[in-house]
Amino acid sequence: GAVVSQHPSWVICKSGTSVKIECRSLDFQATTMFWYRQFPKQSLMLMATSNEGSKATYEQGVEKDKFLINHASLTLSTLTVTSAHPEDSSFYICSARPGEEAFFGQGTRLTVV
Amino acid sequence: QKEVEQDPGPLSVPEGAIVSLNCTYSNSAFQYFMWYRQYSRKGPELLMYTYSSGNKEDGRFTAQVDKSSKYISLFIRDSQPSDSATYLCAMSPVYQKVTFGTGTKLQVIP
């Protein structure tokens, strides 16, 4: 199947700092990518839809100024968690749909201390 | 009411058993139905996907969709300890965002 690569796989940062997570489509072009967050023992919750060349669409309750999304090319979308706090600690996963199926990156475990 | 309902389990079965995992949904616009397997601290891995109603088989896995009942199933035959993971059902309208179930944690006991 299609490959979506996410980096880093884990990161620990201090409270108040910013963290950038990258999501790349390796063998296809993705005009749209999706960013999810998953808390322990819970399902994936869609945070935002990243659109190449335009602004991202955020789900209700997700702070767009805190979770900055940039989709500068057809193969790369980035999520920046700004001024991170311990409550932002979670598992962040990106996804893309080259066709009917949706494929996911490996996920990024963010821990804010 | 959630759009997608899935029993979180955990579900424990002996090795070799047939496993049945299920989800119900309420949005009649859902057309694509997917099953993912997720190991701890890893991203979801696509197992099966089905468009509209019907059955699909791939090795030991069979996916069924009954749109009239808004009910989907994943069957795992001859279950193995390596099948122990969380299984997520997911569904979406055509080319729109995917909605996930909460996931069912499965443990296959040797």
Residue B100 DSSP symbol = E
In this prediction, residue A14 carries a pLDDT of 96
In this prediction, residue A43 carries a pLDDT of 82
| Optimal mutation site among B46, B58, B91, B104, interface A, most CBs of chain A within 10 A | B46
For residue A87, the SS3 value is helix
- Kindly give the pairing relationship between strand B45-51 and strand B32-38: antiparallel
Between residues B51 and A84, the one the model is more confident about: A84
- Segments of chain B with pLDDT less than 50: none
Tell me how crowded residue B94 is: count the other CB atoms within 10 A of its CB.
Answer: 10
pLDDT in tens, A5-64: 999 999 999 999 999 999 999 988 888 999 999 888 788 899 999 988 889 999 999 999
| Edge-to-edge strand ranges of the sheet holding A19-25 | A4-7, A19-25, A76-81, A67-73
Residue B109 DSSP symbol = E
Whether the Cβ atoms of residue B6 and residue B101 lie closer than 8 Å to each other: yes
- Kindly give the pairing relationship between strand A10-13 and strand A108-112: parallel
Residue in chain A nearest B39 by alpha carbon: A106
Q: How far is B109 from chain A (nearest CA, A)?
A: 21
Report the C-alpha gap between B34 and A102 in whole angstroms. 8
For residue A64, the SS3 value is coil
In this prediction, residue B49 carries a pLDDT of 87
In this prediction, residue A102 carries a pLDDT of 82
Report the C-alpha gap between A46 and A38 in whole angstroms. 9
In this prediction, residue A64 carries a pLDDT of 93
Cβ-defined contact of A107 to B43 (cutoff 8 Å): yes
Report the C-alpha gap between B98 and A80 in whole angstroms. 22
Q: Which of A46, A30, A28, A29 is nearest to A38 (CA)?
A: A46
Whether the Cβ atoms of residue B8 and residue B103 lie closer than 8 Å to each other: yes
pLDDT of A2 > 80? The answer is no
| Optimal mutation site among A32, A34, A38, A44, interface B, most CBs of chain B within 10 A | A44
pLDDT of A112 > 90? The answer is yes
In this prediction, residue A15 carries a pLDDT of 97
In this prediction, residue A1 carries a pLDDT of 65
Q: How far is B96 from chain A (nearest CA, A)?
A: 9
Whether the Cβ atoms of residue B87 and residue B72 lie closer than 8 Å to each other: no
Tell me how crowded residue B48 is: count the other CB atoms within 10 A of its CB.
Answer: 19
- Total beta-carbon pairs less than 8 A apart between chain A and chain B: 51
Specify the long-range contacts of residues A68-72, CB closer than 8 Å, at least 24 apart. Answer: A69/A35, A71/A33
Whether the Cβ atoms of residue B33 and residue B50 lie closer than 8 Å to each other: yes
